[in-house]
Each structure stands twice: as structure tokens, then as C-alpha cells.
Structure 1
């Protein structure tokens, strides 16, 4: 038969459950933060690429307009 001193008390079981829950929550929050960080980075990259294209289009349009004006 097992020694009574080896049994976990209800308080110890409760503490272990709370600790495990807190650890699981911390992992989940970390995973979500990683996902959000990656998404924000990807959105910033996409917006930056779009802005670069807009600047290039505007510059090309200005050059074309200047060439057109010179031809007249």
C-alpha cells in the first residue's frame, strides 16, 4: 500500500492545474504573437512594394509626358 504522505493534496492538485493552465496560455499567447508579428511584417512588405510601384509608375508617366511635350 502507498504511503499517505506521497498522495497529493487537493491544494497541490489545484496548484498544478492552475500552473499547467497558465503555461498553456503563455504558449498560446506566444504563438498568436508570432503569427501577428509575421502578418504585420508581410502587410508592411506588401504596402512598401506597392508604394515603390506607384512611385515608378508616376516617374514613368512624368517622363512620357515630358517626351510628349518635347515632340509637340
Structure 2
């Protein structure tokens, strides 16, 4: 998984400007999805901040362990 992330940040596919989902999927054999029953609500909250932020909003994001997938 780490290799996929590093390569997608450092390279673009031949003849393209960015990676498509299909191209990325071809590189990943396994990906773990959170079993958190509130995951969809949490995703909507975060995406909502980016798509329609409150006026004068500042959004901070922190990940103490960027090499480990956060679950929960």
C-alpha cells in the first residue's frame, strides 16, 4: 500500500496527468475498509467541509501515524 501511495505522489502514468481509479486499482491487491458503523456519516461530514465550508472556517487535519491506517 505504501508503495502505491509513494508512486502515485511521485509519478504520473505514461501519457496522463494523473491517476485514474482503474489504474490505481490495478496496483492494489488488498485495502482494508473501516467497519465503523458511523463511517459514512464521518465521510459526509469531512467532504461537506470541503464542498461547502462555513464562512470563515478553518479546517485542520492531523494524523499521528501516517504509516498506519486509522480505523475507528
Q: TM tier, shorter chain?
A: under 0.3
Higher relative contact order (CA 8 A, sep 6+): 2
TM-score relative to the length of structure 2 = 0.23
Higher helix share: 1
TM-score relative to the length of structure 1 = 0.23
